[in-house]
């Protein structure tokens, strides 16, 4: 970007005024005007990791990351994911079933089963298959391949598997089960996996294999699969709780908060019957030339009842898994993919933003435990495209207002109704020991070796580069609120306010009129979307004030809104 173009962008940011995110944009823009050589050199750590945290966004490719970033932080914002020291590209192709075991055809577009099997086992397989090799047909099992989770379990590390999908869905299933078809999730779903049935001497359904693998922490959705009867009679849930496996089970956020140790057995938390609820309510793209949403559409926070968030589950999993021998934890933000299938831009954005919050949880742990490797990636690309905004730009269209205050149009063009995976390479990023191994263009199966620790890594000898300065930056606050609201709506539904905060330990939002407080609320340290209601009737200009306090200082952001009579 030329200097002149940069100046124009800065002026444009300032001109937004009412949205007051200009300084947030400047503060989070890395710019890379400095030479990064020393910083990168000092971030290379050749040690073997003690703990490994793998964070997956299902269907999360660069298009989806960009769309979520534009919406949540503005075009010049950066997620924690964007600021990891090492970033590379990863190919995700798979195989097709076929008669010639030496020459299975390539599948250029894969589903979540072979892709998750790729990093879990280091080997390629066919669509719908979990940590098992290819074969001549879907119903013919291949050879079981040992997974990273199973290898670490044998080495005495604790293990965890967290997802916002059914925990028996393909991504979490590949970590610790082996079966010819991903659909065989519970013991009564085994019609196409008969050889795997326990009554036929097999390893059982995915649900049974996950608990038989004695994963220390299993958290996600999918209770219905565990309520199915096993071939031996009791449900999978009762089998998990039996004297043989000793699982502690919880089904609510408060129940999860009450578990503080693995001393009484591993934990199985199943918080919904099926998939968990996405963070935002859907905004489903409309068939062109119609368009869903519009230039001032912001996403609405969903009522998730008593379900924990992905960051809640990640926090608890890390607390429980932390031990001197280390742990392996896989965390999946699953609904990014599923909402993209539904052409739901808000649902996908909300769960990608939540994935970044889960990353921040992992980074907080890594800051105190530098022998922790964090890898963040997707499993395959998807259909969400950011397009120019005219109604012939795609088959299905939706529009939202970004944190810049500008409209962003997305198209879904793989299908006329719904949407599907695509076959492009995707981002992989990492920090911590051996993180440099994700750079360049790697394949999904290369992650297998990195997750297990490629030791010893070799570094050239030479002068030790200077450590980067450790000064704590001030909190960064992005703030958007409805620009107008009626006096009645301000009292009944409240003014919608979206904040995104980095580097804070406490965040408070206040609605004021003429210096008088109308309403206030304490937010999460990362900010959130809330509605503030005024107790009394007011009209004219009101102010929304967000105060974020952190180790680097205090940041205050103010925007105004107009209350109409
Ligand atoms: Mg998945
Ligand atoms: Zn999918």
Q: What is the pLDDT of residues 189-200, one digit of tens each?
A: 999 999 999 999
Q: Specify the residue for token string 């050889």.
A: 195
Mean pLDDT, range 288-316, rounded to an integer? 98
Model confidence at 290, pLDDT cuts 50, 70, 90, reads: very high
If you measure from the C-alpha of residue 112 to the centroid of ligand 2, how many angstroms do you get, rounded to a whole number? Answer: 7
Catalytic residues: 112
Give residue 232's pLDDT: 97
Ligand closest to CA 222: 1
Q: Say how far apart CA 500 and CA 520 lie, in whole Å.
A: 17
Model confidence at 462, pLDDT cuts 50, 70, 90, reads: low
- Asked if 521 and 445 touch (Cβ cutoff 8 Å), the reply is no
Q: Say how far apart CA 309 and CA 304 lie, in whole Å.
A: 9
If you measure from the C-alpha of residue 44 to the centroid of ligand 1, how many angstroms do you get, rounded to a whole number? Answer: 30
If you measure from the C-alpha of residue 215 to the centroid of ligand 2, how many angstroms do you get, rounded to a whole number? Answer: 25
- Asked if 382 and 59 touch (Cβ cutoff 8 Å), the reply is yes
Q: pTM score, two decimals?
A: 0.82
Q: Say how far apart CA 298 and CA 225 lie, in whole Å.
A: 35
Ligand closest to CA 57: 1
Mean pLDDT, range 377-393, rounded to an integer? 96
If you measure from the C-alpha of residue 495 to the centroid of ligand 2, how many angstroms do you get, rounded to a whole number? Answer: 35
For the cut 60, the answer to whether the pLDDT of residue 226 exceeds it is: yes
If you measure from the C-alpha of residue 127 to the centroid of ligand 1, how many angstroms do you get, rounded to a whole number? Answer: 13
Model confidence at 270, pLDDT cuts 50, 70, 90, reads: very high
Give residue 251's pLDDT: 98
In b/e form, how buried is each residue of 231-268, taking b as 16+ CB within 10 angstroms? eeeebbbebbbeeeeebbbbbebebbeebeeeeebbbb
Ligand closest to CA 58: 1
Query: In the structure, how many helices (H) and strands (E) does the chain have?
Result: 16, 25
For the cut 70, the answer to whether the pLDDT of residue 319 exceeds it is: yes
Model confidence at 32, pLDDT cuts 50, 70, 90, reads: low
For the cut 80, the answer to whether the pLDDT of residue 527 exceeds it is: yes
Q: Which of 116-125, 249-258, 511-520 has the lowest mean pLDDT?
A: 511-520
In b/e form, how buried is each residue of 516-544, taking b as 16+ CB within 10 angstroms? eebbeeebebbbbbbbbebeeebeeebbb
Model confidence at 27, pLDDT cuts 50, 70, 90, reads: very low
Q: Say how far apart CA 147 and CA 179 lie, in whole Å.
A: 13
Ligand closest to CA 220: 1
Model confidence at 6, pLDDT cuts 50, 70, 90, reads: very low
User: How is residue 58 written in tokens?
Assistant: 């299902």
| Residue with the larger pLDDT of the pair 9 and 166 | 166
Mean pLDDT, range 526-554, rounded to an integer? 91
Give residue 503's pLDDT: 84
For the cut 80, the answer to whether the pLDDT of residue 325 exceeds it is: yes
The DSSP output letter for 160 is E
Mean pLDDT, range 471-498, rounded to an integer? 90
Q: Say how far apart CA 130 and CA 505 lie, in whole Å.
A: 41
Give residue 565's pLDDT: 87
Mean pLDDT, range 177-202, rounded to an integer? 98
For the cut 90, the answer to whether the pLDDT of residue 451 exceeds it is: yes
Ligand closest to CA 109: 2
Helix or strand holding residue 530 (H, E): strand 529-532
If you measure from the C-alpha of residue 37 to the centroid of ligand 2, how many angstroms do you get, rounded to a whole number? Answer: 38
Percentage of the chain modeled with pLDDT above 70: 92
If you measure from the C-alpha of residue 180 to the centroid of ligand 1, how many angstroms do you get, rounded to a whole number? Answer: 17
DSSP, residue by residue, 335-401: HHHHHHHTTBHHHHHHHHHHHHHHHHHHHHHHHH-TTEEEEEEESSB-SEEEE-SSTTS-SEEEEEE
- Asked if 425 and 379 touch (Cβ cutoff 8 Å), the reply is no
Mean pLDDT, range 408-428, rounded to an integer? 97
Sequence-separated (6 or more) residues with CB below 8 Å from residue 282: 339, 342, 344, 346, 347
Residue 229, number of CB atoms within 10 A of its CB: 14
Q: Specify the residue for token string 């074969």.
A: 135
- Asked if 83 and 363 touch (Cβ cutoff 8 Å), the reply is no
Give residue 24's pLDDT: 36
If you measure from the C-alpha of residue 130 to the centroid of ligand 2, how many angstroms do you get, rounded to a whole number? Answer: 15
Residue 525: strand, helix, or coil = coil
Mean pLDDT, range 133-157, rounded to an integer? 97
For residue 366, CA distances in Å to 5, 373, 431, 499, 503 come to 38, 8, 9, 25, 15
If you measure from the C-alpha of residue 58 to the centroid of ligand 1, how many angstroms do you get, rounded to a whole number? Answer: 5
Q: Which residues surround ligand 2, an ion (CB under 5 A)?
A: 337
Mean pLDDT, range 339-364, rounded to an integer? 98
If you measure from the C-alpha of residue 161 to the centroid of ligand 1, how many angstroms do you get, rounded to a whole number? Answer: 12
Mean pLDDT of the chain: 91
Ligand closest to CA 59: 2
Q: Say how far apart CA 308 and CA 357 lie, in whole Å.
A: 13
For the cut 90, the answer to whether the pLDDT of residue 524 exceeds it is: no
Give residue 28's pLDDT: 40
């Amino acid at each position: 970007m030329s200097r002149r173009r940069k100046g124009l962008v800065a002026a444009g940011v300032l001109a937004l005024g009412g949205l007051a995110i200009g300084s947030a944009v400047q503060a989070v823009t890395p710019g890379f005007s400095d030479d990064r050589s020393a910083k990168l050199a000092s971030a290379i750590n050749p040690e073997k990791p003690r703990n490994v945290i793998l964070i997956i966004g299902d269907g999360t490719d660069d298009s989806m990351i960009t769309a979520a970033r534009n919406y949540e932080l503005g075009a010049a914002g950066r997620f924690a994911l964007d600021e990891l020291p090492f970033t590379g590209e990863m190919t995700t192709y798979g195989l097709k079933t076929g008669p010639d075991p030496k020459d299975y055809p390539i599948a250029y577009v894969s589903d979540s089963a072979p892709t998750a099997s790729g990093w879990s086992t280091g080997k390629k397989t066919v669509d719908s298959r979990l940590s098992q090799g290819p074969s001549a047909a879907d119903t013919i099992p291949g050879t079981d391949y040992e997974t990273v989770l199973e290898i670490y379990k044998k080495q005495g590390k604790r293990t965890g598997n967290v997802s916002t999908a059914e925990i028996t869905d393909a991504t979490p299933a590949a970590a610790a089960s082996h079966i010819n078809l991903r659909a065989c999730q519970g013991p009564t779903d085994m019609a196409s996996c008969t050889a795997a049935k326990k009554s036929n001497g097999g390893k059982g359904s995915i649900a049974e294999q996950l608990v038989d693998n004695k994963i220390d922490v299993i958290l996600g959705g999918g209770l219905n699969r565990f309520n199915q009867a096993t071939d031996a009679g009791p449900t999978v849930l009762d089998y998990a709780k039996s004297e043989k496996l000793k699982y502690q089970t919880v089904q609510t956020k408060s129940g999860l908060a009450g578990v503080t140790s693995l001393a009484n057995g591993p934990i199985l938390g199943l918080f919904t019957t099926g998939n968990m609820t996405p963070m935002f309510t859907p905004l489903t793209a409309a068939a062109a030339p119609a368009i869903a949403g519009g230039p001032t559409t912001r996403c609405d926070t969903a009522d998730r009842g008593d379900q924990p968030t992905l960051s809640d589950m990640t926090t608890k999993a890390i607390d429980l898994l932390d031990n001197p021998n280390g742990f392996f934890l896989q965390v999946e933000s699953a609904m990014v993919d599923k909402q993209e299938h539904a052409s739901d831009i808000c649902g996908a954005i909300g769960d990608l933003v939540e994935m970044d919050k889960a990353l921040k949880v992992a980074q907080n742990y890594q800051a105190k435990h530098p022998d922790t490797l964090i890898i963040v990636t997707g499993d395959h690309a998807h259909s969400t495209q950011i397009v120019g905004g005219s109604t012939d730009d795609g088959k299905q269209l939706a529009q939202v207002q970004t944190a810049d205050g500008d409209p962003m149009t997305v198209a879904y063009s793989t299908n006329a109704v719904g949407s599907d995976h695509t076959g492009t390479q995707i981002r992989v990023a990492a920090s911590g020991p051996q993180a440099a191994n994700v750079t360049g263009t790697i394949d999904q199966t290369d992650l297998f070796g990195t997750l297990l620790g490629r030791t010893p890594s070799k570094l050239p000898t030479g002068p030790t580069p200077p450590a980067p300065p450790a000064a704590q930056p001030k909190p960064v606050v992005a703030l958007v609120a409805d620009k107008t609201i009626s006096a009645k709506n301000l009292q009944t539904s409240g003014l919608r306010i979206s904040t995104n905060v980095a580097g804070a330990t406490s965040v408070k939002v206040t609605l004021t009129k003429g210096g008088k407080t109308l309403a206030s609320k304490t937010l999460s340290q990362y900010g959130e979307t809330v509605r503030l209601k005024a107790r009394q009737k007011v009209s004219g200009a009101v102010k929304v004030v967000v105060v974020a306090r952190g180790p680097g200082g205090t940041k205050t952001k103010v925007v105004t809104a107009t209350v109409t009579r």
